[in-house]
Amino acid sequence: MTNAQWFMLVGGLLLLMGLSSTLLKRLPITPAIVYLAAGLVVGPSVLNAFHFNPLKQSALLEVLTEVAVLISLFSAGVKMPVPFRLARWRAPLLLATVSMALTVAMVALFAYHVLGLPLGAGVLLGAIVAPTDPVLATDVQIRHPGDRDQLRFTLTCEAGMNDGSAFPFVMLGLGMLGLHHLGDMGLRWVLVDVLWASAAGVLIGVVAGMALAHLGCRLRSGPDKHALMDDFLGLGLIGVVYGLSSLAHAWGFLAVFFAAVALRQTEQKLARTRQSAVEALALDEMPRADVQAVILDAGLDTEPLPTVSEGSLIFKEHLERLSELLLVLLVGGMLFASSWSWGAVALALFLFGVARPLSVMVGLAGTRTPWRLRGITGWFGVRGIGSLYYLMYAIQHGLPEALALQLIQFTLIVVTLSILLHGVSVKPVLGRLWRVGKSADPA
């Protein structure tokens, strides 16, 4: 395809989505299905107008998917409800750790015994397809910072964390294939790839998010009343946190998600402090001097202040939609008719119908999550851009070409079927759930 044809294709899709947004809301399809259909039609499956080779273009695709996931993780993080409560986060934490590990293990065994892959390749494949996706799961994620729906919160929070918690298993699979040093008895993998990289990523993100929140509030509430560019601050936080994590050998995806969470939590905490001081002043519950001292210590004044988290959210969501369009279009351009092997389809069905539901049931055992929500959570484990990133990451780290081609085929079919199956079922299933009884968190 020529540049002019690409401009017409992407521009036409943007016009179509802009003009038919109301109609799409009434149909049992998602925007990703429209983009995928367009990619399949113009790609090698039908017209063969273009073919994107993920093996030859793995470096480019790694960067594209990396940026898309980072933006999506930030958007998910700033929409997390406040204040933070460990009891409410227990379910997604279990899903991102226990359920993640179980999914990797079951897929690895399926790949080894059914697909005939080496065990290391099976572990790598499990790590690639296990994470749920923050980019393509828009319809089952939190819609705005005030959304109190328990199902949306659980799925959004899980997707935000497991794109980072999958990394240790990616490194384990590469190590079993001789492409990464695991240490004696896997000791280095446990200490560095699991414990250090995860803890350091969370710590870097939390510290950076809190620091930006305090700095932004002080600048806005100071005598000069600085006007801040929230879009730039959000992107800057993503870049700095991800870069620091890479230098510290920590998982940057975790860092960016928790930076966004910490940013919003801290900004809301400062806002509550200011509001309490203002209310106390209005009710004469404390002397004016004490109120002013509280305000000064918080670095705030009595006027409502904008926040970086909310100010940058709309821009990030627009970038997220554009990246979804581009990358899903490319997925369609990677698929041939011959890509639909029985092994690839069987893997996808095993993942969606056995591994994901079973791992969710085990992971949430002992929690107070209603059984109906456990079942829906077990089904809506959308796979997408994150899986493509891990695949490209593995290829860039020396994955043999023959094995890379196999994993490309399996991953593309899993992502494609996830877009289709989860896409056509999300509106009917969630619509029925909310008609029967909303899943809103009562707390």
Profile the chain (443 residues) by mean pLDDT over runs of 10 residues: 89 91 84 94 92 94 95 89 80 94 97 96 97 74 67 87 92 96 94 96 96 89 77 93 96 95 90 68 56 54 69 80 92 93 96 96 90 89 91 96 96 95 83 57 38
Output the pTM of the full model: 0.90
Element (H, E) at 291: helix 288-298
Distance (Å, whole) CA 193 – CA 127: 14
Maximum Cα interatomic distance, the chain, rounded to a whole number of Å: 77
**pLDDT at 414 (0 to 100):** 96
Q: How crowded is residue 31: how many other Cβ atoms within 10 Å of its Cβ? A: 21
**pLDDT at 442 (0 to 100):** 35
Q: From the DSSP assignment, how many helices (H) and strands (E) are in the chain? A: 20, 0
- Closest of 197, 158, 2 to residue 80, by C-alpha: 158
Distance (Å, whole) CA 443 – CA 434: 18
Q: Residues 219, 226: contact at Cβ < 8 Å?
A: yes
Distance (Å, whole) CA 391 – CA 319: 22
